[in-house]
Amino acid sequence: MGGRRGLTMALLSVEDALAQVLDQVEPLEAETVPLRLAHHRVLARDIAALRTQPPFAASAMDGYAVRSADLDIGRPLRLIGEAAAGQGFGGSLGHGECVRIFTGAPIPDGADTILIQEHVRIEGETIIPTHDTDRLRHIRPAGLDFKQGDVMLATGQRLSASSLSLVAAMGHPHCLVTRKPRVAILATGDELVQPGETCGPDQIVASNHFAVAAMVEALGGIAIDLGIAKDTHEALEAAFQSAEDQQADVLVTLGGASVGDRDLVQSSLAQRGMTLGFWRIAMRPGKPLIFGSLGRMRILGLPGNPVSSIICAQIFLGPLLKCLSGDTTARQDPTCQAVLGCDLKGNDLRQDYMRARITGTYQGLPMVVPFSSQDSSMLGLMSQAQALLIREPFAPAAQMHDPCRVILL
């Protein structure tokens, strides 16, 4: 037990590391944007309705506005006018009268029921009801959706397509949202070249920064591509300066986060004045992960292996960007319950995020099976993964159909 405790103390838990990343993070400043630019942005202020919707009692169907007291199968009703959306009937109904009405039109004075057009027979200037209906049937009362002054969307809510429609219906042409986080992304390493460039005999194509940029943009941030920095302090220093010049809120570095002779990211950041939070966590993949701050800019130094960087970005960068955006879901548990589709061995001191596929369901829960290989360089399997199966440190051996926790991808 003494040896295990010593190993555990040497590495920060994922939970504690995430708590540090999100500690004292406040939403960025707010800005007003037109609705056409507000999709997927996070509200910086509650939105209350400027009007009542619908503003009047309205028909929910095409048919005839009638008085329920006059309604009797086979008894004719005299047609005295028409009501359409945007052009209501100006008079009122008397005994034995009806008005042709269309969906969305205001209910005429005196009417209390809509008889749908499929339930009448027309004879000249009269209609003959062929079915009965209840009073108030097919009528939307004023304020059915919302009333003036009702708060319909709250601060911290991310605007979906339907919520944008709601903002418009409430009468707002603009909304106040949190500024988009600006994320500078820097790939590092002499071995890297951009896609399409010629690889030397000892080089590979850089790929991580595309995934991280896509994550940033999916979360409503602005991805700033700093390109690839060579393994020199001078190249790294120039890239860090570029991130500051472009007013990045977060700098994400890819690779060079370990302690090898060519892993210069941490030392270069330290020379520039970074305050280090942590740099090693009990996580697989992704043990060498730097977190710190450089002035107002937060630093996330992700591992160079493609799968490691993608998973670490999901676990740490995603919640950080949500916090900076003021998203109220930032600290929510991203996992859901599932069951194992195979037996698993016991785990060691690092929390595992195993790429897995969903093979079906068991007792209403997704059944997951991890890939036989979990090598952190294998993007092919990462692209096929449907879930990350989480194995806590020192988790005992588990059997098929045992409960587990997953992050769905």
- Same-domain status, 225 and 89: no
According to the model, what pLDDT value does residue 356 have? 97
Q: At what angle do helices 14-22 and 318-325 cross, to 10 degrees?
A: 30
- Same-domain status, 159 and 41: yes
- Same-domain status, 225 and 321: yes
User: pLDDT class for 260, splitting at 50, 70, 90?
Assistant: low
Of 325, 360, 380, which one is at a domain's C-terminal end? 325
Contacts for 77 with CB less than 8 Å, ≥ 6 apart = 64, 66, 70, 96, 97, 98, 126, 127, 128, 129
Q: Is 18 helix (H, G, I), strand (E, B) or coil?
A: helix
Listed in order, strand segments (DSSP E) in 198-303 are 204-205, 222-229, 250-254, 275-280, 283-284, 288-294, 297-302
Whole-angstrom CA distances from 132 to 70, 119, 121 are 11, 8, 13
- 370, 352 in Cβ contact below 8 A? no
- Letter string b/e over residues 281-318, b meaning 16 or more CB atoms within 10 A of that residue's CB: bbbbbbbbbbbbbbeebbbbbbbbbbbbbbbbbbbbbb
Q: Which amino acid is at 91?
A: G
- 282, 11 in Cβ contact below 8 A? yes
* CATH number of the domain enclosing 38: 3.90.105.10
- Same-domain status, 196 and 313: yes
According to the model, what pLDDT value does residue 9 have? 43
Q: How confident is the model over 372-406, as pLDDT tens digits?
A: 999 988 999 999 999 999 999 999 999 999 999 99
Q: Is residue 145 part of a domain?
A: no
Of 297, 325, 353, which one is at a domain's C-terminal end? 325
Q: Is residue 149 part of a domain?
A: no
User: pLDDT class for 262, splitting at 50, 70, 90?
Assistant: low
Task: Read off the pLDDT of each residue in 220-238 and give the average, rounded to a whole number.
Answer: 95
Q: Is residue 340 part of a domain?
A: yes
- Same-domain status, 41 and 167: yes
Of 279, 302, 325, which one is at a domain's C-terminal end? 325
How far apart, in whole angstroms, are the C-alpha atoms of residue 214 and residue 131?
57
- Same-domain status, 201 and 166: no
Q: What would the two tokens of residue 116 be?
A: 């749908």
Write the DSSP string, 61-107: SSEEEE-GGG--TT--EEEEEEEBTTB---SB--TTEEEEE-TTPBP
How far apart, in whole angstroms, are the C-alpha atoms of residue 400 and residue 86?
62
Domain count, the chain: 4
How far apart, in whole angstroms, are the C-alpha atoms of residue 87 and residue 101?
10
Across the chain, mean pLDDT equals 94
Q: Is residue 109 part of a domain?
A: yes
- Same-domain status, 111 and 241: no
- 9, 349 in Cβ contact below 8 A? no
Q: Is residue 254 part of a domain?
A: yes
How far apart, in whole angstroms, are the C-alpha atoms of residue 390 and residue 408?
11
According to the model, what pLDDT value does residue 15 have? 96
How far apart, in whole angstroms, are the C-alpha atoms of residue 92 and residue 67?
11
Closest CA to 76 of 98, 57, 94: 98
- Same-domain status, 189 and 173: no
Task: Read off the pLDDT of each residue in 321-344 and give the average, rounded to a whole number.
Answer: 96
- Same-domain status, 297 and 202: yes
Q: How confident is the model over 93-138, as pLDDT tens digits?
A: 999 999 999 999 999 999 999 999 999 999 999 999 999 999 999 9
Q: Is residue 6 part of a domain?
A: yes
Q: Is 43 exposed, middle or buried (CB count within 10 Å of its CB: 0-12, 13-18, 19+)?
A: buried
According to the model, what pLDDT value does residue 257 have? 72
Give residue 112's region: left, alpha or beta (phi > 0; psi -120 to 50): alpha
- Same-domain status, 109 and 187: no
According to the model, what pLDDT value does residue 5 have? 36
pLDDT tops 80 at residue 277: yes
Task: Read off the pLDDT of each residue in 344-348 and give the average, rounded to a whole number.
Answer: 96
Task: Read off the pLDDT of each residue in 193-221 and give the average, rounded to a whole number.
Answer: 92
* CATH number of the domain enclosing 402: 2.40.340.10
* CATH number of the domain enclosing 286: 3.40.980.10
Q: Which residue has the tokens 């004719």?
A: 76
- Same-domain status, 115 and 223: no
C-alpha of 26 from chain center = 19
How far apart, in whole angstroms, are the C-alpha atoms of residue 171 and residue 324?
28
Contacts for 354 with CB less than 8 Å, ≥ 6 apart = 370, 371, 374, 388, 389, 390, 391
* CATH number of the domain enclosing 114: 2.170.190.11
Phi, psi of 45 (to 5 degrees): -155, 145
- Same-domain status, 44 and 16: no
Q: Is residue 331 part of a domain?
A: no
Q: Which amino acid is at 281?
A: I
Q: How confident is the model over 46-59, as pLDDT tens digits?
A: 999 999 999 999 99
Closest CA to 96 of 62, 67, 128, 129: 67
Q: How confident is the model over 151-170, as pLDDT tens digits?
A: 999 999 999 999 999 999 99
Whole-angstrom CA distances from 78 to 66, 67, 93, 105, 172 are 10, 12, 10, 19, 42
Tell me which residue range forms the domain holding 364.
336-408
Percent of the chain with pLDDT over 90: 90
Q: How confident is the model over 351-361, as pLDDT tens digits?
A: 999 999 999 99
Q: Which amino acid is at 219?
A: L
Q: Is residue 146 part of a domain?
A: no
